[in-house]
Amino acid sequence: MTNHKLGLDYAKEQDQNDPLKDYRKKFHIPTDQDGKELVYLCGNSLGLQPKTTKEYIDQELNDWAQLGVEGHTEAKNPWLPYHEFLTENMAKVVGAKPIEVVVMNTLTANLHFMMVSFYKPTAKRYKILIESDAFPSDKYAVESQLRHHGYDDKDGLILWKPREGEELLRYEDLEGLLDKHGEEIALVLIGNTNYYTGQFFDMKRISDLGHKHGCIVGFDCAHGAGNVNLKLHDSDADFAVWCTYKYLNSGPGSLAGAFVHEKHAYDKSLNRFTGWWSHNKQTRFNMRHEFDVLPGAEGWQLSNPPILSMAAIKASLDIFGEVGIEALNEKSKKLTGYFEFLLKQLGEDTIRIITPENPKERGCQLSIQVKNADKNLFDKLTKSGVIADWREPDVIRCAPVPLYNSFEDVYRMVENLKSILNG
């Protein structure tokens, strides 16, 4: 581990030597009423806006104004194939092949569409295994799928739980659940980076475990895409879904992504909900043809895409295409390691970090518990100029994002927290 030093000078020195430092200038950093930049550590909830986003969206608004319907084919970025302009960079971000990735719909909608195809319950094998503290929307979606297929949503749910007095999940316990219930489990669905603890799971290990017991394996990568090196293709997961408004900076409520492994790319027998955008592109506009599904992840599309949202995604992905996920991960480890170092100076009797200490088992988020503190502490932190995230019952989530956060941001956050605790 790097030997970090205390003091503002060290933070400024690290920023000066950061090869990615200029990318901060490509984002709008929120400010207070006096125009001073806030310490924004909330990219795990909503990423900041690239300064090019307006230009990208304006391009489509102008083409719409000038061309009307002809923009589908004559726009600078023609709208008919617009989602294809996102595929290559998105595939690189999530570690997939282009045929395995598509940008469409929103996160939970994509999760349901994937379960239509990959959750195939039988009388004997119908249960779904998830984390006990999965993101609530995932839990609600899974429970509704169980009910939709006529199963009890409590009996049909198997929860991978942390041990008494622990927050993090252990693979041995997952193995135990699969050894015990494997023949009853149709689907293993895990949030690849847990929203609460920040624990990043070994997806290949989980996929191999699930497949060994005959289960389909999927991941919700909402807190992983753009944050950690997912390597989705190599993970051998059957499917994955993610949103783009967190680490991928595409704007509130923007479109989501889906991954379907190449091994399923040409399987036309897979049950799925369909629409005209999953139909053969060559005959899509000949309305009399029988349905002919596209190969790969594109075959799960339903409708023509919302171009303005995709333009915002394109603005961000073009930046990711310049930087590369490997360079971002390298800085992320340094930035989060420095953050951890500073927090530990506050004393283990005051601060507890529940996120794994091993950099390979986390992304940039650190989840912090402050002894004997409640939401009042978080509110004071917010008033001091630090934008972080509170999660009940007692966790402050902070995510120093390598694209736009600095070592000085991290320094200022910890100094503000120290000042509040000493106040």
209 neighbors 201 (Cβ within 8 angstroms): no
Strand order across the beta sheet in which 395-398 lies = 351-353, 366-370, 395-398, 389-391
Both structure tokens of 93? 């971000």
pLDDT band at 423 (very low <50, low <70, confident <90, very high): confident
Say yes or no to pLDDT of 1 above 70.
no
* Residue 400 CB-density burial (10 A; 0-12 exposed, 13-18 middle, 19+ buried): buried
Could you tell me which residues are beta bridge partners of residue 131? 160
**Average pLDDT over every residue of 143-153:** 97
Nearest to 384 by CA among 27, 12, 32, 24: 32
pLDDT band at 2 (very low <50, low <70, confident <90, very high): low
Render pLDDT for 359-369 as a digit per residue (tens, 0 to 9): 999 999 999 99
Cα torsion angle, 188, 192, 195, 200, sign? positive
**Average pLDDT over every residue of 327-338:** 97
CB-side neighbour CA atoms (13 Å) of 293: 19
Q: How far is CA 147 from CA 131, 154, 156, 186, 325, in A?
A: 19, 10, 9, 15, 39
| Amino acid residing at 245 | Y
**Average pLDDT over every residue of 138-161:** 97
- pLDDT above 70 covers a percentage of the chain that reads 100
pLDDT of residue 234: 98
Render pLDDT for 70-104 as a digit per residue (tens, 0 to 9): 999 999 999 999 999 999 999 999 999 999 999 99
Say yes or no to pLDDT of 320 above 90.
yes
Say yes or no to pLDDT of 43 above 70.
yes
- What span, in angstroms and rounded, lies between the C-alpha atoms of 334 and 340? 10
pTM recorded for the entire structure:
0.96
pLDDT of residue 355: 98
Domains of the chain, each with CATH number or no CATH: 8-50+324-422 (3.90.1150.10), 81-322 (3.40.640.10)
Average pLDDT, the chain: 96
Q: How far is CA 279 from CA 106, 266, 294, 296, 373, in A?
A: 20, 13, 6, 12, 55
Say yes or no to pLDDT of 282 above 60.
yes
Nearest to 200 by CA among 244, 235, 233: 235
pLDDT of residue 288: 82
| Amino acid residing at 313 | I
**Which DSSP helix (H) or strand (E) runs through 367?**
strand 366-370
- What span, in angstroms and rounded, lies between the C-alpha atoms of 237 and 208? 9
Could you tell me which residues are beta bridge partners of residue 219? 190, 240
Both structure tokens of 373? 């503190």
Distance of CA 386 to the CA centre of its chain: 22
